[in-house]
Structure 1
């Protein structure tokens, strides 16, 4: 098995050794110590001749995310060929800001907060599936809760589509070959294409698909392919990243019962704990940027056309920004983590993601307060991709009763 030093020479996130997450972070530590920027011949999202530079230190990552004039979100020509439309995540201002202006109100703090009863109910329904038995799989809560909430209350797609879209998104990111990944992208695109097509002449529902269909940028409606592509982007973002982060939190608290008990005993620290668990879990390991104009950062000169990967997960474990960064400190005070990015492309759905994440933890701790990871069953960690998390997380706990009550029905009682 190659050493961390050997892996740091040419970082390949898809390498099988990185199914061991602790080992991956050991490699990141070497990369940060060596230089401001590492290199990879095999960038996993941007197929660029000559590979890509990798920003691994916090301050460099933050600077790049703030400087869209030099580090553009426009993909390299090779990556652009694989895009199915004009994506908000691949645009720069001013068009990007016009696009965000259309979408931002839908993800406002007030609008997302209004979903609190529904998110709590959906979480309780998932827990109800196994709570009476004293054993269950918390990965099912982590992966299904964000999907159900997003499809049912935000996107306006059938909840029955969630498992299929989870599988297609997972295969698109983690498939064993480029052909397998592209086939999954195609399958997901076709599924979203059909869902959006069915909505064109349907009565309005005030959901995100309606917002995209009605959106105008510079006085022009979005092309149909752009509507589909951005809906697909929202599906991927709404499923994979939050689910991965939540699965890490469940695993951490299940393997650190003193921390689990502290959160139950001191609920006032929950807001800080949420931010710390997002920082520590590191569900996003690379977002690409393309050098638009020659520039220098921290002694490194970048040339136009080069690809740069901003590694949020490594940045969030940088001791220069986070003292004792490899330790989860639930009440950490200063925590400007990059879990949701930074700058003009900061995560559009961060308000929803935080709410789903917090409610997921709150309901699990309230209803399974003594849960631990089952030692007689295998956990399954899904690595080797831009997002990484647990796909099977068997737990043991004291059985309890089912409690889920439809919030609309309860309101009418």
Structure 2
């Protein structure tokens, strides 16, 4: 470790090399919460303002910020707005945000997502089939490929061959070594989706999210093409990275905690609670920005218009004031009001789909590889960026099984 916990807490930088150790990161969050309701960071990759940002790390403050869009606006700073090519749902406030969301909400309804369960199970089984006869495999491949295949094939309506490219571009855009590399990745993602959506305008309508965006109207006006592409980018990023990271952590946790793995095999009824606990424990966002729209005081701190505040969902979800034994993963935890999907008007649009993908992914792996453990000599590869964190390789061994008959 090159810096102490206190040094990291004084000027938090999620991209620091020390945070390849995820446990260390949460130790830093503990120090940050104990010292003050608001920490500080001047790491420029997280926000547009050069003078830095405040960081909300406790549950109470994070929740209040997420509920108070009139003071803590999702509209970016002027510097950040310059980088956007259109109105992005996550950077809008009511009333336009609510009107935009009303267009998309029906497509992500619980009933519509529940209807996808057979397809999600089949796609997960196909991924497991690739290695189940070998007695060894990489569960990160399931975690990262399943959400992408489901989202592109059944929701967005794009070729699944695009999944790998979009994951790579998203990762570089969030975690590239230089500003030029990050902006080039954003540009590459925008152009790829621009071309794909342009091609769709001359094709017959399909029942997918791209058609929803193409036909959407707000206050009697269709979305601009830039708005359509920008929100397709948002859906791709949100639909791939967050769910995949959370699922990869769960697979790794269960490989290294066989008693909990065996319990889920014996007691599948607690799987819904386990999914929520994994999201609370390590599957949430580490920093999304808000901009102060008008002066406001919160927990003794006065925020001025134009200030940047980062809402650290991951730290809030380890706050012992809300979650007893917060640093333990308790599979059947009750009263789990985590912020993994946010809160308020900007609560995650795709939470129903994310939960279902996560639940089915765990269900199929535990049903077909019930005794999986870390592969001898193998090494799990952890990867973090400025938004979310997870495992890119999880080599495991298990009793060989059969491919699905289908």
Q: TM-score, normalised by structure 1?
A: 0.97
- The alignment status of 1:174 with 2:181, answered yes or no, reads no
Q: Is the 8 A contact 2:242 2:283 kept in 1?
A: no
Alignment of 1:298-309 (within 5 A): 298-309=299-310
User: Which position in structure 2 is the counterpart of 1:206?
Assistant: 207
- The runs of 5 or more residues in structure 2 that have no matched partner are none
1:32-56 Cα offsets, whole Å, 9 max, x none, are 0000000001143312121000000
What is the alpha-carbon distance in structure 2 between the residues aligned to residue 179 and residue 19 of structure 1? 23
What is the alpha-carbon distance in structure 1 between the residues aligned to residue 302 and residue 132 of structure 2? 56
What is the alpha-carbon distance in structure 1 between the residues aligned to residue 79 and residue 46 of structure 2? 10
Q: Is the 8 A contact 2:293 2:305 kept in 1?
A: yes
Q: Is the 8 A contact 2:256 2:373 kept in 1?
A: yes
What is the alpha-carbon distance in structure 2 between the residues aligned to residue 328 and residue 40 of structure 1? 28
User: Which position in structure 2 is the counterpart of 1:244?
Assistant: 245
Question: Secondary structure, in 3 states, of the residue corresponding to 2:382?
Answer: strand
CA RMSD of the aligned region, Å? 0.8
Structure 1 residues 271 and 353: CA distance shift in structure 2, 3 A: same
What is the alpha-carbon distance in structure 2 between the residues aligned to residue 73 and residue 45 of structure 1? 14
User: Which position in structure 1 is the counterpart of 2:154?
Assistant: 153
4+ runs deviating over 2 angstroms = none
What is the alpha-carbon distance in structure 1 between the residues aligned to residue 301 and residue 251 of structure 2? 39
What is the alpha-carbon distance in structure 2 between the residues aligned to residue 217 and residue 47 of structure 1? 29
Q: Is the 8 A contact 1:36 1:56 kept in 2?
A: yes
Alignment of 1:7-406 (within 5 A): 7-403=8-404, 405=406
Question: Secondary structure, in 3 states, of the residue corresponding to 1:38?
Answer: strand
1:4-29 Cα offsets, whole Å, 9 max, x none, are 11111100111111111000001000
Question: Secondary structure, in 3 states, of the residue corresponding to 1:132?
Answer: coil
Equivalenced residues, count: 405
Post-superposition offset of 1:298: 0.7
What is the alpha-carbon distance in structure 1 between the residues aligned to residue 16 and residue 211 of structure 2? 40
Q: TM-score, normalised by structure 2?
A: 0.99
Q: Is the 8 A contact 1:15 1:384 kept in 2?
A: no
- The runs of 5 or more residues in structure 1 that have no matched partner are 406-413
What is the alpha-carbon distance in structure 2 between the residues aligned to residue 375 and residue 324 of structure 1? 31
Q: Is the 8 A contact 1:88 1:230 kept in 2?
A: yes
Q: Is the 8 A contact 1:125 1:404 kept in 2?
A: no
Post-superposition offset of 1:283: 3.4
What is the alpha-carbon distance in structure 2 between the residues aligned to residue 140 and residue 114 of structure 1? 24
Q: Is the 8 A contact 1:16 1:384 kept in 2?
A: no
1:163-198 Cα offsets, whole Å, 9 max, x none, are 111111111112111111111111111100011000
Deviates more, 1:248-257 or 1:42-51: 42-51
Q: Is the 8 A contact 1:128 1:404 kept in 2?
A: no
Question: Secondary structure, in 3 states, of the residue corresponding to 1:198?
Answer: helix
Post-superposition offset of 1:404: 5.8
1:207-236 Cα offsets, whole Å, 9 max, x none, are 000000000011100000100000011000
Question: Secondary structure, in 3 states, of the residue corresponding to 1:382?
Answer: strand
What is the alpha-carbon distance in structure 2 between the residues aligned to residue 252 and residue 193 of structure 1? 38
Question: Secondary structure, in 3 states, of the residue corresponding to 1:151?
Answer: helix
Question: Secondary structure, in 3 states, of the residue corresponding to 1:301?
Answer: strand
What is the alpha-carbon distance in structure 2 between the residues aligned to residue 338 and residue 142 of structure 1? 21
Q: Is the 8 A contact 1:283 1:389 kept in 2?
A: no
Post-superposition offset of 1:377: 1.2
